Amino acid sequence: MQEGLRVHIRTYGCQMNERDSEKAAALLQRAGFTITHRENNADIILVNTCSVREKAEEKAVGKLRLLVDERKKGRKKLIVGAVGCMVQRMKDDIFRKIPGLDFALGTARLSTAGDVIKKVLAGRGKIIDVAPERSDCELNPHIDGRVSAYINVLYGCNRHCSYCVVPEVRGNEWSRGAREIIAEAGELVRGGTREIILLGQSVLTYGRSNAVWQAEQKSPSFARRPCSLPRGASQNWFSEPFPRLLEALNSIDGLKRVRFMSSHPSGCTDELARAFAELPKVCPHIHLPLQSGSDRILKLMNRGYTTDEYRAAVARIRRRAPQIAVTTDIIVGFPSETPDDFDMTRALMEEIGFSNAFMFKYSPRPGTRAAGMDDDVPEPEKMRRNQVILEEQNRLAREMNQLLLGRECEVLVTGRSKRNPDRWTGRTDTNIITVFEKPDGCRLGDLLKIKIDRAEEQTLYGEPVYEQTALQ
C-alpha cells in the first residue's frame, strides 16, 4: 500500500530532534516509503516539533495548520502528522489546536510512524500515541554514511530546571549501553562517517542513571586503549562512564573526530579534562550552558551550580586543554531578572570568553515551576537585553577569531558552501565554520589544512595548504 509513497519530514528544535527525524526517515525507508526533500511533491508530511520555547511551538502549530489547509487547495490526499515534544506535551489537545491533523506521535513512538501511516491510509481515523515506552531500536537507524553523524547516548533528563519541559516530554534519564553505542559508531565509520557527535540532554551524566552501563563496567572489554596518545599522557584507564566511552570511541579505526553536547558544570571533572588532553580524536570544544551570570537567578532556575562553580568547571577543563573552545546558552528576561542580574551575565560572558553563544528570550512553558512565577520583564526589555548580549558576543567572537589570521587550521570538509556553491565549507576541531576554495581532488570527509586570511564572528575564510590528509 505504501509502495512509492513519498514522505517529507520537517524538523524544528535541537540536535536531538534532528537525530530523531533521521532515525524516523531511515525506518520509513525500510518500510517501503520514499523520503523526499521537497515538500510540494510529498504524499505524507511529518512535522517533528519542539516545546522548549513558546516560539518554537508557535512555528510548528502554524506550519501544521498551513499543511492541513493545503488539502482545501487541491492536495486532498495529503496526510499530515505531528511527532515529537509538542505532541508529548499537548497530548489529545493537539487535535483541538490543529483541526484536521491525521496523527500525532510522542517522543518515544516515532518508529511506529510507518504502521500509523498505514492505518491512516486504511481509514482508521485520527491516531495518537504518546506512550512513554520506547518503541525503537538504536542500531543501524542511519540513512547513509554522512561525514558527520549524531548518536544518541542519553535520553531524558533528571535535572528539572524550573523553566524546562524536557523531563516532561522526554522522560527520566536513561543511558544506552556502551557496546551498543560503539557498535553503531563502527557501522557509521564503515559507511564513511568521519565525525561522531554524541547527544544527551545532559550528556556528561551518561552511565550514572540506569543499570546498563553499570553491568558493562564489570567487564572492561568494551574499552580498548586509544590508537595513539600524545607524549606524557597517562596510561591509566578512565574510571568515569562518559570519559571511558570517549576512550572506547577514540580507538575506532577510521573515525577522526568525536564531539558531544550538551554539558553541565557538574560533569566537568578531572577525568573529563584528562580525556580532552589525552584522547586525540576528542575535539577541543565543549558546549556548556550558563543561562545566567546571577547566582540568584541560577537558583530560581534550579540549575544546580553557582557562578563560582561554573568558573571552576571551565578552569578545570582549560588547565588540561588550554586551547579548548567553550560555547554556551543564555536566557535573558527570566522572571525577576533585574538590570544588575543582566549586567552580571554580561560580565561573566566577557570573563569566560565564549567562542559562541546562543541567546534566548525567556518564555513561560506550561507545567514548569517558572510558569508560576511572575513573568515581569516586559517583552521590549527582553528584546533589548537579547540584542545587547548578541552584539557583545559577536564582538568577542570576532576578536577571538581574528587571532587565527595567518594560522593554519585543520578543517573537516563537509560540502559546498550554502551561500557560494563555488566554494566549499567545513569545520575546525573547535567547531568554527570555515569557507575555502576547493582544491583538486578534495572529497567530503577529507581533512584539509586551511590558512586563515579572513575572520568574522561566526565564520573563517582561507585557502588550502597543499598538504592534504585524505581519509580513506
- Check which CATH number belongs to the domain holding 224 and give it: 3.30.750.210
Backbone angles phi, psi at 97, to 5 degrees: -70, -35
CA distance 232 to 369: 48
Q: What is the pLDDT of residue 471?
A: 44
pLDDT of residue 238: 85
Are residues 271 and 294 both part of a single domain?
Answer: no
- 377 and 417 in a common domain: no
Whether 190 is covered by a domain: the verdict is: yes
- Say how far apart CA 114 and CA 249 lie, in whole Å: 32
* DSSP reduced 3-state for 155: strand
Q: pLDDT tens per residue, the chain (472 residues)?
A: 456 799 999 999 999 999 999 999 999 999 999 999 999 999 999 999 999 888 999 999 999 999 999 988 888 899 999 999 999 999 999 999 999 999 999 998 988 999 999 999 999 889 999 998 765 555 556 666 689 999 999 999 999 999 999 999 999 998 999 999 999 999 999 999 999 999 999 999 999 877 555 666 555 555 555 445 556 666 677 889 999 999 999 999 999 999 999 999 999 999 999 999 999 999 999 999 999 999 999 999 999 999 999 999 999 999 999 999 999 999 999 999 999 999 999 999 999 999 999 999 999 999 999 999 999 999 999 999 999 999 999 999 999 999 999 999 999 999 988 888 789 999 999 999 999 998 888 889 999 999 999 999 999 999 999 754 444 4
Number of domains the chain is built from: 4
Cβ neighbours of 39 (radius 10 Å): 13
Question: Which grid cell is 354?
Answer: 565564549
Count helices and strands in the chain by DSSP H and E runs: 14, 19
Residues 118 and 142 in one domain: no
Region at 385 (left for phi over 0; alpha for psi -120 to 50; beta for the rest): alpha
- Find the DSSP H helices in 220-338: 241-250, 270-278, 295-301, 307-320
Grid cell of 397 as nine digits? 567572537
| Rg of the chain on CA atoms, in Å | 23
- Domain assignment of residue 357, yes or no: yes
Pairwise CA distance, residues 351 & 335, whole Å: 24
* Of 97, 72, 73, nearest in space to 87 by CA: 97
Co-location of 82 and 154 in the same domain:
no
End-to-end CA, the chain:
41
Rounded Cα–Cα distance for residues 383 and 361 (Å): 7
Q: Measured between alpha carbons, how far is residue 207 from residues 210, 258, 436 in Å?
A: 7, 18, 40
The side-by-side arrangement of strands in the sheet containing 325-332 is 285-287, 325-332, 356-361
Domain end among 378, 402, 426: 402
Q: CB-based contacts of 386: which residues, under 8 Å, 6+ apart?
A: 332, 333, 359, 360, 361
Which of 376, 402, 428 terminates a domain? The answer is: 402
Element housing 382 (H / E): helix 379-402
* Residue ranges making up the domain that contains 300: 284-402
Q: Which residue in this structure is represented by grid cell 541560577?
A: 298
Asked if residue 457 and residue 419 are part of one domain, the reply reads yes
Contacts of 410 (CB under 8 A, 6+ apart): 428, 429, 447, 448, 449, 450
b/e string for 82-111 if b means 16 or more Cβ within 10 A?
bbbbbbbbbeeebbeebeebbbbbbbbbbb
| Same-domain pairing of 31 and 122 | yes
| 247 falls within a domain | yes
| Residues in Cβ contact with 95 at an 8 Å cutoff, skipping those fewer than 6 apart | 101, 104, 126, 128
Q: Are residues 274 and 191 in the same domain?
A: yes
For residue 133, what is its C-alpha cell?
Answer: 515506552
| 1 part of a folded domain | no
Supply the pLDDT for residue 226. Answer: 47
Q: Which residues contact 81 (CB under 8 A, 6 or more apart)?
A: 44, 45, 46, 47, 101, 102, 103, 104, 105, 113, 116, 117, 120
The pLDDT score that the predictor gives to residue 28 is: 94
pLDDT the model gives residue 235: 65
Q: What's this model's pTM, rounded to 2 decimal places?
A: 0.91
Tell me the per-residue pLDDT of 6-52, one tens digit each, with 9 for 90 and over: 999 999 999 999 999 999 999 999 999 999 999 999 999 999 999 98
How many residues are listed for the chain in this entry?
Answer: 472
Q: Residue 418: what pLDDT?
A: 83
Helix axes 113-121, 15-30, angle to 10 degrees: 60
Would you say residue 171 lies in a domain? yes
Name the burial class of residue 266, with classes exposed (0-12), middle (13-18) and buried (19+) by CB atoms within 10 angstroms of its CB. middle
DSSP letter, residue 459: E
Q: What is the CA angle 225-231-232, rounded to 5?
A: 90
Amino acid identity at 159: R
Buried b (16+ CB within 10 A) or exposed e, 372-384: ebebebeeebbee
Final residue of a structural domain among 107, 129, 151: 129
Q: Could you tell me if 327 and 254 lie in one domain?
A: no
Query: How far is it, in rounded angstroms, from Cα 142 to Cα 187?
Result: 10
